[in-house]
Each structure stands twice: as structure tokens, then as C-alpha cells.
Amino acid sequence: MVIKNTVPVADTSTTTEIFYPETDGMPLADGEYQLQHFMDIISILKFFFNRPDIVVSGNTFIYYVEGNPRLWVSPDCYVAFSVSEELMLSNNMYLLWEMGKAPDFVLEIGSPSTGRNDLGNKRDLYASLGIGEYWMFDPSGGEHYGFALRGERLVDGEYRRLDMNIEPDGGAWGYSPALNLELHWVDGRLRIYDPEEGRWLQNMEETAEEAERERAARESAETLAERERAARESAEARLVEMEAELRRLRGE
């Protein structure tokens, strides 16, 4: 079912209601192929950019012409800085004229049915909207895009490639000025590295695993401390017994 939002558009004589659908009712173009990557990337960036003036979203509609609900685009992932997250969430869509600016960063996940469009029409549209940075991530390593990972920055209305580092094992990585993060293609997965903190950002599963390891380590430390306390108390009790026995032998 298509869910719709109503946005009034005023004219000189009456007010016309324009319906902006929140969804076309369709899943990700290649759902099973893209879903895990989509969930990883969105969850990592949402957790990292956890602020009310930053929007991190994906597979939601961006409407870019007020009054025309037929003109929309739905990136796999996008990030917008200095905007109202509350406004975006209340609409459940990104109305460019209300948000006040285009997203600063867009990433597409290459798949059998989307690769050509990501390289062509979508890329041109993103440039025309003024989206400052565009990244394409191909989990297959190049089957859909011809490369594993590429970042581009908008300069004078056109995208120019960012410097990329290609590893001997086929991995690739580059720095995103928009995010101030490094994006790495590693064994078919997009991993994200924070150069300021010197750490890899984690997805939900990795965060849960780390929390479990920390919990187990705390419990292990508590168990060790309890054993040490019990051993100390036993030793102290034994010392008291020995001192008493010594006094007995001395006839004290």
C-alpha cells in the first residue's frame, strides 16, 4: 500500500493538496543482495552521527521539486548536515525545499539491476541537485560498476573522482571529506574507519558482540576478585588458627 503525506500548496485563489507518497511499496531493487550491506552502512552511520541536526537515512524518498510528487529519488544511503532530523522524521521523507538543502553525501550499493542507472542517470541527477559527494560501492568487487569502490566530489557542477588507494589483494579505500571518514572495500563489505579516533566503526552485530565480550570480561574479573577475596580470608583465618595453636603450645 502506498502511504501518502499531504502538503498544502497555496495559489492566488485556493489551496491545493499535493500528495507526496512515502514509498512506492517496493523493496530494495535487489533486496536479498543489498539488504545486509544496506543495514550495515545505515546502522553504522546512524550510530556515529547521532545528533538532531544530522540526517542519516536510506531507501526513503527525496522530493526535489515542490508541487511535483513525480520527481523523486531514493538513494541507498544519504547524510545531510545542519538540517532538522525531527522535520525529516515527521514527514518520513526528505522534502528538499523544507529541509533547505540537498544531502551532503550519497552512497549507492551496486547490484545487477541498478548498476547502470547508478553510473548514469542517478549520477547526473545528484550533480544537478548539488549533492556534494557521491560514492558507489560494489560488493562484487566490480561486476556491476567496473570497480569496487569510488568516491566523487562535486566541483563546478560536475563530479570529479576522489583519490582512491588500491590494495594488492583487491581491496580499495578512500577518504570522504564530507564525512571525515575513510571508506574501505574489504572482502565484499564496506567498512568505515575513523582516522581521528583511530578505530573501525562497528555495525549492530559487532557492537553487541563487543558488549558481550566486555560483560564476560567484567564477570571474569569479578569472579577472580571474589576468588582472591575468599583465598585471602581463608589465609587470614588459617593465620589466626596458627597463632592460637602457637600460644597453646607455649602455655599462654
pLDDT tens digits, residue range 7-23? 444 444 445 678 888 86
Low-confidence spans in the chain with pLDDT less than 50: 1-14
DSSP per-residue codes, 167-225: -TTS-EEEEETTTTEEEEEETTEEEEEETTTTEE---HHHHHHHHHHHHHHHHHHHHHH
pLDDT at 18: 85
Do residues 67 and 6 touch, judged by C-beta distance below 8 A?
no
- CATH code at 4-200: 3.90.1570.10
Q: Whole-structure pTM over 0.85, yes or no?
A: no
Other beta carbons within 10 Å of 186: 17
140: closest CA among 111, 182, 173? 111
Say how far apart CA 182 and CA 191 lie, in whole Å: 8
Element (H, E) at 46: helix 31-48
pLDDT at 35: 83
